[in-house]
Chain A
Amino acid sequence: MKVHMLPRASLRRVFSSSPRCSSYLPLSFQHSIIRSSSSISQRLGSKHVSFPGAVKSEFTNDLKYVLPANLPALPTYRAVGQDGNIVDQSFEPDLSEEEIVKVYKTMLTISIMDPIMYDAQRQGRISFYMVSAGEEAISIGSASALDNEDVVFCQYREQGIFAYRGFTLKHFMNQLFANKSDIGKGRNMPVHYGSKEFNIHTISSTLATQIPQASGAAYALKMQRINDPSLPPRVVAVYFGEGAASEGDFHAALNIAATRSCPVIFICRNNGYSISTPILDQYRGDGIASRGIGYGIDTVRVDGNDFWAMREATKKAREMALEDGGKPVLIEAMSYRVSHHSTSDDSYAYRARVEVEDWKRRDNPITRLRKYMEAKGIWDEAKEKDAKETIKRDVLKAFSEAEREKKPAIRNMFEDVYEEMTPDLKAQMEQLKQHLEKYPNEYELGEFEEGINSLNS
């Protein structure tokens, strides 16, 4: 998109023999510090092209376009089938029975909290909600293969990662009700969770912006370990939907992660819909996975309804991401969004109810893991009933506690814009205070921690 008018002129200057250049090192040395793509020499009759842009490309006398439609679709990896039986004979479950039960209960917790909060929004008790039904295995399966020190960037449908890492129902509810205990200080919409303790960056609504940030964060982890080899090796995992992958930031992120060799795992949740847009209006290639290859990124497609496949793929991705000084890996997790996009969406306006019901019945990450556990004899109907009841009770308890809490102090509106409050912001906070003193009955001041007093400078 840009005209390199001035740059080109200055390139001439560098390569000229102007006396001013005497301070520069010889060209040969400059090349050693600049990552050059290849040698430019080209032998006559060579089978391979030495064009710098594609060094391994062989000449052909056959004019043939590559037709994507003729290529087979990339396969989808499964470890455990729909019936709960192992289908990958080389796969060996590596979690203890207690750990599997813990994972399953985490999935159940999310699947129970989701409809409760969905209804809470319908009753006007919270302003917004997004469920992750059908995608619990993607977040929890991958999170279970990461180190808790690994840094995570989310889109918004990954509450499972938070839950897996230790985010409690209290944490969730405080954020959803934006009360005074909310980590985000009541500034963000519901479901925009974040945690320093669990190494998860706070969610922002802007789609795909987190993807290049994840590449940068991964480069930071890599550099920090170079500076201090005693640090443990860490990777970044970043989640996004197949719709977000259409944003320019996706392209930027994969390309920059590949060129800078960043230890980052890109995890795409391909659930078939971006709000109302089906994939045929989203892309015409072979999903998102086929693009990773184009960026020179090691890629796999996984059955996102298979907890074990997600875990295995992420475990391997983590190892690969830390190899050779760091490199990016892409996982495309296939699933189906069985829920509405959000509480502001009625998905039956653009897809048949029967399609959704069919998916719910046919395949579900939670039932699949349950079948696996039942086959192993570590789970049964009684345990299921008991777990569901306990979780529901806990959710409702956290719900009512969080709902009763006061809202954060109004002062939080002005803080953290900058590290220090600017004179402008201090003056504006004072203006608001005077205004509220003049019209106290026009606002619900009592709901907020400290009321008007939090605005004292």
Chain B
Amino acid sequence: MKPFISPRSLGLASKSVSNLYKCQRSIVCTSRSRNYSTHPPNARLNLPTDYSTTSLLSHSSQTALSNPELPPEARNGTAKRMNFCQAITDALSTALAEDENVLVFGEDVAFGGVFRCTVKLSERFGGARVFNTPLTEQGIMGFAIGLAAEGMRPVAEIQFADYVYPAFDQLVNEAAKYRYREGKTGRNAGGLTVRMPCGSVGHGALYHSQSPESLFTHIPGLRVIMPRSPIQAKGLLLSAIRSNDPCVFMEPKILYRAAVEQVPTAPYTLPLSKAEVLKEGKDITIISYGQPLYICNAAIEKAEEDFGVSIELIDLRTVYPWDKECVFESVRKTGRCMVVHEAMVNAGIGAEVAAAIQENPDTFNHLSAPVSRIAGWSTFTPLMFEAFNIPDVARIYDGVKKLLEY
């Protein structure tokens, strides 16, 4: 949990920013008993996420390389400590090196990107392949679609998911429908990948916090992906770039610097539209994706301890087209389930997952409790109230309790 500003959550842990933050803290916090980056003194559940110890990240190269989804050449290779940004950069440089048709562009991409995801790519691969565009999201998307429709593999960046809406027409009416409307010509915009930082960051307020994934999951033709870790960021991004369908690749920006793990150095891909069971359990299934998985994991730990239950945790990874079978199988086993996401609850991913579960006769018959959704409230992400809006450990813990008490 990150109730207030912290340099780590900013993803910008430089000395200057740290110092700035420290000064600010000494001024602002003199009359307070606690400082901004810590939890309330009596909190037992809503403790900050410790990414350095979480079981969701591979802290040793051994665990990183033993991932059964990796191809043999990656498993037999080496691993390197990378944060989420570096894993993205690694995937982009692999893609740029392996295919001359790959181009990387967007606003402020050339100097390395405002989140440092494209550092040195312009120097290595040239300004013709990694470049800045004018500040126009609809232009970036239209330009990218034209490139893809002529056989290139553009990786376009939208600086924040909050600013993707000007490009919505191009994504919905053009990128998604290109293959379909071209029919026998076979032309398509499948080479397109759109990257965008998403999710809350502690202080992003209305326009630096949004998670608009469900707006894209309503669009046939698009693949919508949200990784939770550096290993996933690299493997899923490479899959997205190589995919012949247009992909919306959403990167939880709070993880950019915070999530650090051992990442296989060899190129590898992870499968799209395939969920991952992160932890097996038999009483409850929790389904989530992206950053809230860490919150779920912490809540599961406490709930299992307190209630003596065993909880299964599933990472959807691709939110559309999503892995229904994996979820159904788990729910048939546990009979209780909860969907957790940061985006608002109304018509969100949780609505789709819950509806699909109840619509599937075999799975419906196994339900012992209604499917629950722990998600953002149906409002926006307000600056000062973020902590009350996004799913936290306490809300998930309480959700588990309610599922058990039903």
Instruction: Decide whether A and B assemble into one complex.
Output: yes
Task: Give the interface of A toward B (CB within 8 A).
Answer: 1-7, 9-14, 16, 18-21, 24-25, 29-30, 33-35, 151, 153, 182-185, 187-188, 192, 194-196, 201-202, 204, 206, 209, 211-221, 223-224, 226-227, 236, 248-249, 251-253, 255-256, 259-260, 412, 416-419, 422-424
Whether a CB of chain A sits under 8 angstroms from the CB of B212 is no
Chain A residues within 8 Å of B396, by CB: none
Pair A248/B138 contact, Cβ less than 8 Å: yes
Stretch at the interface among B32-40, B51-59, B178-186, B287-295: B178-186
Stretch at the interface among B72-80, B141-149, B233-241, B337-345: B141-149
Interface centre among A16, A213, A224, A416, by most chain B C-beta atoms within 10 angstroms, is: A213
Whether a CB of chain A sits under 8 angstroms from the CB of B177 is yes
Give A381 to B177 CA distance when docked, in angstroms. 48
CB proximity to A under 8 Å, residues B338-382? none
Q: List 11 A-B contacts (CB under 8 A).
A: A2-B135, A24-B120, A25-B120, A34-B122, A194-B183, A194-B185, A196-B187, A209-B169, A213-B174, A215-B143, A419-B188
A9's partner among B10, B163, B223 (CB-CB below 8 A) is: B10
Pair A423/B321 contact, Cβ less than 8 Å: yes
Pair A184/B184 contact, Cβ less than 8 Å: yes
Whether a CB of chain A sits under 8 angstroms from the CB of B114 is yes
Number of residue pairs A-B, CB distance < 8 angstroms: 234
Pair B152/A220 contact, Cβ less than 8 Å: yes
Interface size on B, residues (CB 8 A): 78
Pair B132/A217 contact, Cβ less than 8 Å: no
What is the chain B residue whose CB lies nearest that of A8? B114
Give A418 to B144 CA distance when docked, in angstroms. 18
Pair A187/B147 contact, Cβ less than 8 Å: no
- If the complex has contacts A24-B119, A183-B184, A219-B147, are A417 and B15 also in contact, measured as CB distance less than 8 A? no
Pair B122/A252 contact, Cβ less than 8 Å: no
Give A423 to B116 CA distance when docked, in angstroms. 37
Pair B147/A220 contact, Cβ less than 8 Å: yes
Chain B residues within 8 Å of A227, by CB: 100-101
Q: Mark B112-152, 1 if CB is under 8 A from A, else 0.
A: 10111001101100011101111110111111111111111
Chain A residues within 8 Å of B123, by CB: 25, 29-30, 33
Q: Top 9 closest A-B pairs, CB basis?
A: A216-B146, A212-B142, A252-B139, A213-B146, A220-B150, A196-B185, A7-B114, A216-B143, A185-B183
Pair B12/A13 contact, Cβ less than 8 Å: yes
Pair B147/A217 contact, Cβ less than 8 Å: yes
Stretch at the interface among B62-70, B103-111, B309-317, B385-393: B103-111
- If the complex has contacts A16-B14, A202-B185, A260-B133, are A419 and B244 also in contact, measured as CB distance less than 8 A? yes
The distance from the CB of A263 to the nearest CB of chain B, in whole angstroms, is 12
B16's partner among A18, A201, A212 (CB-CB below 8 A) is: A18
Chain B residues within 8 Å of A10, by CB: 12, 114-116
The distance from the CB of B283 to the nearest CB of chain A, in whole angstroms, is 28
A209's partner among B132, B150, B170, B223 (CB-CB below 8 A) is: B170
Beyond the given pairs A194-B182, A256-B133, 11 more chain A to chain B contacts, judged by CB atoms under 8 angstroms and listed by A's residue number, are A6-B208, A10-B114, A35-B131, A212-B142, A212-B170, A216-B149, A217-B146, A256-B139, A256-B143, A424-B321, A424-B324
Give A272 to B277 CA distance when docked, in angstroms. 61
- If the complex has contacts A24-B119, A35-B132, A196-B186, are A217 and B150 also in contact, measured as CB distance less than 8 A? yes
Chain B residues within 8 Å of A4, by CB: 114
Chain A residues within 8 Å of B26, by CB: none
Chain A residues within 8 Å of B148, by CB: 216
Chain A residues within 8 Å of B184, by CB: 183-185, 196
Chain A residues within 8 Å of B199, by CB: none
B142's partner among A201, A253, A419 (CB-CB below 8 A) is: A253
Chain B residues within 8 Å of A220, by CB: 146-147, 150-152
Chain A residues within 8 Å of B111, by CB: 14, 30, 34
Chain B residues within 8 Å of A35, by CB: 110, 127, 131-132
Chain A residues within 8 Å of B128, by CB: 223, 226
Chain A residues within 8 Å of B201, by CB: 6
What is the chain B residue whose CB lies nearest that of A21? B14
Chain B residues within 8 Å of A19, by CB: 15
Pair A249/B114 contact, Cβ less than 8 Å: no
Chain B residues within 8 Å of A25, by CB: 120, 123
The distance from the CB of A178 to the nearest CB of chain B, in whole angstroms, is 10
Interface centre among A21, A33, A201, by most chain B C-beta atoms within 10 angstroms, is: A33
- If the complex has contacts A34-B122, A212-B138, A216-B145, are A201 and B173 also in contact, measured as CB distance less than 8 A? no
Chain A residues within 8 Å of B190, by CB: 419
Chain B residues within 8 Å of A416, by CB: 179-180, 182-183
Chain B residues within 8 Å of A188, by CB: 181, 183
The distance from the CB of A161 to the nearest CB of chain B, in whole angstroms, is 15
CB proximity to A under 8 Å, residues B162-202? 163, 166, 169-170, 173-174, 177, 179-188, 190, 201
Whether a CB of chain A sits under 8 angstroms from the CB of B154 is yes
What is the chain B residue whose CB lies nearest that of A254? B139
Whether a CB of chain A sits under 8 angstroms from the CB of B220 is yes
Whether a CB of chain A sits under 8 angstroms from the CB of B251 is no
A417's partner among B103, B114, B221 (CB-CB below 8 A) is: B221
Whether a CB of chain A sits under 8 angstroms from the CB of B245 is yes
Give A422 to B273 CA distance when docked, in angstroms. 10
CB proximity to A under 8 Å, residues B200-244? 201, 204, 207-208, 220-221, 223, 244
Chain B residues within 8 Å of A196, by CB: 182, 184-187
The distance from the CB of A173 to the nearest CB of chain B, in whole angstroms, is 16
Pair B112/A14 contact, Cβ less than 8 Å: yes
B14's partner among A20, A253, A260 (CB-CB below 8 A) is: A20
The distance from the CB of B191 to the nearest CB of chain A, in whole angstroms, is 10
Give A33 to B188 CA distance when docked, in angstroms. 32
Chain B residues within 8 Å of A184, by CB: 181-184
Pair A33/B147 contact, Cβ less than 8 Å: no
What is the chain A residue whose CB lies nearest that of B191? A220
The distance from the CB of B264 to the nearest CB of chain A, in whole angstroms, is 21
Give A3 to B10 CA distance when docked, in angstroms. 16
Pair B245/A206 contact, Cβ less than 8 Å: no
Interface centre among B134, B136, B180, by most chain A C-beta atoms within 10 angstroms, is: B180
A3's partner among B100, B185, B207 (CB-CB below 8 A) is: B207
Give A269 to B71 CA distance when docked, in angstroms. 54
Whether a CB of chain A sits under 8 angstroms from the CB of B297 is no
Pair A33/B134 contact, Cβ less than 8 Å: no
The distance from the CB of A84 to the nearest CB of chain B, in whole angstroms, is 39
What is the chain B residue whose CB lies nearest that of A424? B321
Chain B residues within 8 Å of A209, by CB: 142, 169-170, 173-174
- If the complex has contacts A3-B207, A5-B208, A10-B115, are A18 and B14 also in contact, measured as CB distance less than 8 A? yes
Chain A residues within 8 Å of B120, by CB: 24-25
Interface centre among A30, A35, A202, A253, by most chain B C-beta atoms within 10 angstroms, is: A202
